[in-house]
Structure 1
Amino acid sequence: MDPQQHPGDDATPAPDAPDAPGTAGAAAGAATEPEAPPRWRLIGPGIVVAATGIGAGDLVATLVAGSRFGYALLWAAVAGVIIKIFLVEGAGRWTLASGHSIFEGWRRLGWWTSLYFGPYIMVWGFVYGATAMSASALPLVALVPKLPVIGDIGGVDEMPLMVYAVGCGLIGAALVWLGHYHRLEKIIAVLVGVMFVTVVGAAIVTLPNIGEILLGLVPRVPDGGLLYALSIAGGVGGTITLAAYGYWLAAKGWSTPRWMRVMRIDNAMAYVISGIFVVAMLVVGAELLYSGGIAIEEGDQGLVDLAEVLASRYGEPMSWVFLIGFWASSFSSMLGVWNGVSIMFADFFGHVRRRPEGHRDRSIGGRYYRFYILWLTFPPMLLLLLGKPVQVIVAYGVLGSLFMPFLALTLLFLLNSRHMPQAWRNGWVLNVVLGIIALVFVVLGANQLLEAIGTLGG
């Protein structure tokens, strides 16, 4: 899906969009770049950013929406996928056309962007690390007692969540430590395959009502569903990891405007796949839970609850398969964050340390990259031991509520700025679309901010 055609939007660079050697891992010139792969073989950074964004929380959000409103909010889930296609395309277009990373773009908008981004990425990583490890461990804790062979081994079925969480965190850190992007891409592609079979399979066995699905594509908001619709449209598919797309493009070797069309195909294909996941979970919620009047928890535990429902309806093996898919979703999301957000931190902190753009310390595999992997892995283990302190959660909520409006608004400015080659700037259609998206995120951010303040007051 091409959100907008631009002059020179083909396999060759635009005449006024020259390469920018030495920035964001850009190649020295188009002549040294690998040839673009055939479309049917194209698996790129899009699958990584989409898999990273579709974590357990997103699956639960759409599952609960289906359990409460049936198919009424299906259109919102589809809208959420389209929103992410536009946002990620903007981040990728900025990187390919300008030759600079997204952080370098933010820096050009003023010092205030660094003042916001620095505290955000540290607090976000501290809390997200614990959340990701717990989400990856939860299906394993539920799965082990269910497996007849392993479950009979003394003590294994009593394995605490903490042990699994720490194990997942350490394995994830080890897999991304050296910064081998191509290996990460292959691992995530396999995990996405597992997710596809399990999540879509769960939707198929419920025998969905095709007529109701088609009716759910018509925009309508049931009573009490407005904020929920906005949350699904804005929340499904990732937050900070959307901004990591440009870094993964550079790691892949796609670094100049000649890759623009390939990037757009990659991005659209990846979010179509993620859209299928989201729709599948809403189908499961509508057919299994809404029709049966079954309620589940809204946290990650909700997916374990769903596994129990699947077991009672279709047998234990079905719940085992689904729990494996739950783990694949959570672990692939964790791997993407451990790699992508660590690159973003390295770029930011390298700038703070006055390293030039393109310096090893500001790149994947550098020492600042590895520091942030450790930050994501070990300090959050304290939260797993002590529980999540209210003050930290409130800070996370406040900063997090501002990030998606921050990303949408800064992209709107950057893609129209003098730092963007003329041929690749936004037209009025994209400006209107990004403006609407930014407005949605401002409303959602304000609501989340009020909730965080309310938590602090309570």
Structure 2
Amino acid sequence: MELTLRRLFRPVTLEDDASCKPLMAPSSLRRSIGPGILLAGACIGGSHLMSSTTAGARFGFALVGLILLTNLVKYPFLRVGTRFTAATGLSLLEGFQRRNTAYLPLYLLVSLVTGTATIAAVSFVAGLLLTNVPGLTGQDPYGLSIAVLVVCGLVLLLGHYRALDRLSKLLVVLLTLLTGVAASSLLIRGPVGDVAASWVSTDPTPWTLANLAFLIPLMGWMPGPVEMCVWPSLWMFSRARDTEHTATPQEAEFDFNLGYGITVLTALFFVILGSYTMYGSGDGMLAGSGVSFAQKLIKLYTAAMGGWAAWVIIPAAFSAMFSTTLTCLDAYPRSIAAIQGLFRQSDSGDAAPGPLQRRFDPWVVVHLLAAVVALVVAKGGGIGVKDFVFGAMTGSFLTAPLFAWMAMDTINSSLVPEEHRYRPLTRAFCWFGLVFFSGFSLLFISRFFLGLGAA
């Protein structure tokens, strides 16, 4: 019998809590793990490989505090989708629609714009990394990027959620282990320069207006855009249908926390890799062509760690970018397909897998083709990897206050049972996050659009 939305998820009642059935039995917990790992696969990409590595290369460990703070500030917002769905039985998109009629159109509008840019950007980096693979050296990185997009599209169109879930878990485990091995070997071997001093002081300092062009993109995708709060909510329905198991709120949040913890850990791994191998030489990391970036990245690692490092860094870096491309190519079309169903009032967005899948497949093709067009335009315009990827990262940060407000307003609304809403301390921290996002966004706009601090 086809499972429906209301049967897949429903609020946990007092009678459920009072029963003798354990809420986090090992077998049911294992079947609940998936959406959080997919979130990790989406996050561990440009923000980690490019921004975290470059942060370590340019400033050593001076930006570790900002990286951890950004992860902490975004945590309650990104957790909203998981918590809302487990508590209400609704997707967060349906929650947006019920909470405020303006929320869903706003989310759709921004997703249509940022989706293409993000998918094209992450596939571009994946293609660049493939130029380090023997036999692919000298190949056109744009052509390799398009090949990555096509492979990801075929995985989603032919294998659907099950293929996404299985492959993403494999890639996340692989990249976490490989980057952990690389970071551990460097910690044992020691840094190339006096990186320990960067904990308390650095020259040059990152805390200048001129460095906003780097800090804002770093925070934009660290660990990912706030709009990603919707994605685990939708993946929870697909996971429940795949396993025929409905995650309890405790299981769902354990899954989310596991994935989020992996993203934070790997971000620190890449900072270590950058600072221990490139400290003092990071200013030129993103200069020149995209191919030169990919080649410099691998050469610096192998120079510091030995030739064997290529067998670790290349697969780890490519796994990070391929998993990000795959999950983004799923999540943006999945979100738009769900919104389409809500607008038509034909279903609840993800209530029935048949209608959703019929809407989802064309949107995958549309996003794939749009990303290919963006890559062709970027190639014709001579847009480098820094401008391409950092532009997408910056856009994600500037829209963060909007999505953060929508998430906070919905999770604390009457749609959610009171026991599952955020407590006063968490609400206060959410307000701090809104001020954090808004303040940096206004500072960036004042600097680069109004000329604040310009010489």
Q: Say which SS state the counterpart of residue 436 (structure 1) adopts.
A: helix
Gaps of 5+ in 2: none
* Residue of structure 2 equivalent to 1:355: 346
**Does residue 152 of structure 2 align to residue 162 of structure 1?**
no
Change in CA separation of 1:193 and 1:439 when aligned onto 2, cut-off 3 Å: same
* Residue of structure 1 equivalent to 2:221: 235
Change in CA separation of 1:126 and 1:89 when aligned onto 2, cut-off 3 Å: closer
**Does residue 131 of structure 2 align to residue 141 of structure 1?**
yes
Question: How far 1:396 sits from its partner (Å)?
Answer: 6.4
**Cα distance in 2 for residues equivalent to 1:222 and 1:263:** 43
Change in CA separation of 1:453 and 1:127 when aligned onto 2, cut-off 3 Å: farther
**Cα distance in 2 for residues equivalent to 1:344 and 1:238:** 16
Change in CA separation of 1:359 and 1:381 when aligned onto 2, cut-off 3 Å: closer
Question: How far 1:233 sits from its partner (Å)?
Answer: 5.0
Greater alpha carbon shift after TM alignment, 54-63 vs 441-450: 441-450
Letter in 2 for 1:63: T
* Residue of structure 2 equivalent to 1:245: 232
* Residue of structure 2 equivalent to 1:18: none
Matches within 5 A, 1:48-59: 48-59=38-49
Change in CA separation of 1:409 and 1:453 when aligned onto 2, cut-off 3 Å: same
Change in CA separation of 1:219 and 1:199 when aligned onto 2, cut-off 3 Å: same
**Cα distance in 2 for residues equivalent to 1:24 and 1:398:** 38
Counterpart of 1:225 (choices 203, 207, 210) is 207
Q: Say which SS state the counterpart of residue 159 (structure 1) adopts.
A: coil
Q: Say which SS state the counterpart of residue 180 (structure 1) adopts.
A: helix
Question: How far 1:360 sits from its partner (Å)?
Answer: 6.2
**Cα distance in 2 for residues equivalent to 1:408 and 1:128:** 19
Matches within 5 A, 1:398-413: 400-413=396-409
Change in CA separation of 1:221 and 1:114 when aligned onto 2, cut-off 3 Å: farther
**Does residue 371 of structure 2 align to residue 380 of structure 1?**
yes
* Residue of structure 2 equivalent to 1:442: 438
Change in CA separation of 1:34 and 1:350 when aligned onto 2, cut-off 3 Å: farther
Change in CA separation of 1:308 and 1:26 when aligned onto 2, cut-off 3 Å: same
Counterpart of 1:285 (choices 274, 280, 296) is 274
Counterpart of 1:343 (choices 334, 351, 357) is 334
Matches within 5 A, 1:50-129: 50-129=40-119
Letter in 2 for 1:423: E
**Does residue 177 of structure 2 align to residue 189 of structure 1?**
no
Counterpart of 1:207 (choices 187, 193, 196) is 187
Change in CA separation of 1:111 and 1:127 when aligned onto 2, cut-off 3 Å: same
User: What's the % identity of the aligned pairs?
Assistant: 18
**Cα distance in 2 for residues equivalent to 1:257 and 1:29:** 11
Greater alpha carbon shift after TM alignment, 90-99 vs 221-230: 221-230
Question: How far 1:158 sits from its partner (Å)?
Answer: 3.2
CA contact (8 A) 2:77 2:229 kept: yes
Give CA deviations for 1:25-66 in whole Å, capped at 9, x if unaligned: 8358989x9985518847321111012111134321111211
Question: How far 1:109 sits from its partner (Å)?
Answer: 3.3
Letter in 1 for 2:414: R
Give CA deviations for 1:382-419 in whole Å, capped at 9, x if unaligned: 222232779x9999688644432122111221122111
CA contact (8 A) 1:83 1:437 kept: yes
Question: How far 1:95 sits from its partner (Å)?
Answer: 1.2
Question: How far 1:363 sits from its partner (Å)?
Answer: 7.3
Question: How far 1:179 sits from its partner (Å)?
Answer: 6.2
Q: Say which SS state the counterpart of residue 158 (structure 1) adopts.
A: coil
Q: Say which SS state the counterpart of residue 224 (structure 2) adopts.
A: coil
CA contact (8 A) 1:363 1:369 kept: no
Change in CA separation of 1:178 and 1:360 when aligned onto 2, cut-off 3 Å: farther
Counterpart of 1:269 (choices 251, 258, 262) is 258
Greater alpha carbon shift after TM alignment, 439-448 vs 189-198: 439-448
Change in CA separation of 1:287 and 1:60 when aligned onto 2, cut-off 3 Å: same
**Does residue 311 of structure 2 align to residue 311 of structure 1?**
no
Q: Say which SS state the counterpart of residue 152 (structure 2) adopts.
A: helix
Greater alpha carbon shift after TM alignment, 424-433 vs 174-183: 174-183
Change in CA separation of 1:114 and 1:221 when aligned onto 2, cut-off 3 Å: farther
**Cα distance in 2 for residues equivalent to 1:334 and 1:320:** 22
Question: How far 1:236 sits from its partner (Å)?
Answer: 1.0
Q: Say which SS state the counterpart of residue 79 (structure 2) adopts.
A: helix
**Cα distance in 1 for residues equivalent to 2:162 and 2:81:** 20
**Cα distance in 1 for residues equivalent to 2:185 and 2:55:** 19
**Cα distance in 2 for residues equivalent to 1:72 and 1:177:** 43
Give CA deviations for 1:206-238 in whole Å, capped at 9, x if unaligned: 22669x999988999984426566764553111
Gaps of 5+ in 1: 1-20, 145-149, 151-155
Change in CA separation of 1:323 and 1:264 when aligned onto 2, cut-off 3 Å: same
CA contact (8 A) 1:125 1:375 kept: no
Question: How far 1:344 sits from its partner (Å)?
Answer: 0.8
Q: Say which SS state the counterpart of residue 238 (structure 1) adopts.
A: coil
Give CA deviations for 1:335-366 in whole Å, capped at 9, x if unaligned: 11122222211111222333231566787852
Greater alpha carbon shift after TM alignment, 363-372 vs 282-291: 363-372
* Residue of structure 1 equivalent to 2:155: 175
Question: How far 1:243 sits from its partner (Å)?
Answer: 2.1
**Cα distance in 2 for residues equivalent to 1:453 and 1:394:** 17
Q: Say which SS state the counterpart of residue 111 (structure 1) adopts.
A: coil
CA contact (8 A) 2:341 2:349 kept: no
CA contact (8 A) 2:124 2:141 kept: yes
CA contact (8 A) 1:81 1:275 kept: yes
Give CA deviations for 1:145-192 in whole Å, capped at 9, x if unaligned: xxxxx4xxxxx5432123211211111011112563233222111111
CA contact (8 A) 2:123 2:146 kept: yes
Letter in 2 for 1:86: P
**Cα distance in 2 for residues equivalent to 1:403 and 1:328:** 27
CA contact (8 A) 2:401 2:437 kept: yes
